[in-house]
Chains A and B, each alone.
Chain A
Amino acid sequence: AQTVTQSQPEMSVQEAETVTLSCTYDTSESDYYLFWYKQPPSRQMILVIRQEAYKQQNATENRFSVNFQKAAKSFSLKISDSQLGDAAMYFCAYREVEYGNKLVFGAGTILRVKS
C-alpha cells in the first residue's frame, strides 16, 4: 500500500521569507500524481499545487513550487515570500493515475507565519 510521510509536525517562517515543507512517499507505481493541499483555519481544503510523476519538470504556481525527486520518492513544497495568509495545515497527498482513485494523505504540517 502506498504511504505518505510528512516528518515535520510544525514549521515556522518569518513573513517574506522562504520555507520548505518535506514529504516522502512510498509506491511501486511508475506513474502517479502528487499534490499539496492547504487547510486554513476555516478547514476548507484548497489545492495548492500538483505534480504528474511522468513530468520531470517541477511544478510551479506563483510563490509555490515543488522539488520532485522521483528516484528518492521525495516531493517538497517551497513557499517563497511567505505571507500571513499562508498560515495553515499543509497536506501532501498521493494518488494513482486512474481518476477516481483515492487520495492518500500525509499527517500534515502546521505552518506558522510570524510578522
Chain B
Amino acid sequence: GAVVSQHPSRVICKSGTSVKIECRSLDFQATTMFWYRQFPKQSLMLMATSNEGSKATYEQGVEKDKFLINHASLTLSTLTVTSAHPEDSSFYICSARDRTRGTRGYGYTFGSGTRLTVV
C-alpha cells in the first residue's frame, strides 16, 4: 500500500534555529500534501495545503513566514520551522494524496509524525 516516510521522527533544537521536516511518498506520486500540527491529546490542526509546483495555501492564523512549505516534486514535501521558539514545540504530521486515485479517491496516507522540541 501507499507509504509516506516522514523524517526525522524526533528532533530537539535550540531556540532561534531552523528545523526541516521531510515527507516522502515512497510508492506513489503525491500531488497534494497536507501539513498538520497536533498538541497532546488534541485533534489535528491543518496548517497548510501544498500542491506540487505551486505555493502552499496556509490556514488562517498560521504564519507562512515561520512555517515554510516546499513541494518541489511529486514525491517530496518539506516543512521548515524557521527561528523556532519553545511554543513551536509540537507534533507535526504530513498527509498525502495519491494522484492516481482519481477524483473520488478515498482517505489520504499519513506520515508517522515528527515530535519537535525547542529548548
Contact = CB atoms under 8 A, between A and B. Distances in A.
Interface in A90-115: 91, 97-100, 102-103, 105-108, 110
B9 to A, nearest CB: 10
Interface in B39-56: 41-44, 46, 49, 51
B67 interface: no
Given A43-B91, A45-B95, A89-B41, A97 B112 contact: no
A64 interface: no
A74 to B, nearest CB: 19
A110 B34 CA distance: 24
A108 B42 contact: yes
A105 B44 contact: yes
Interface residues of B, number: 26
A99 B101 contact: yes
Contacts of B42: 107-108
Contacts, number: 52
Interface in B68-95: 91, 93, 95
B32 A100 contact: yes
A28 interface: no
Nearest to B110: A45
A108 B46 CA distance: 15
Nearest to B45: A105
Contacts of B103: 97-99
Contacts of A43: 38, 91, 93, 112-113
Given A43-B113, A44-B112, A107-B42, 6 more contacts: A43-B112, A45-B93, A47-B106, A91-B44, A100-B32, A105-B44
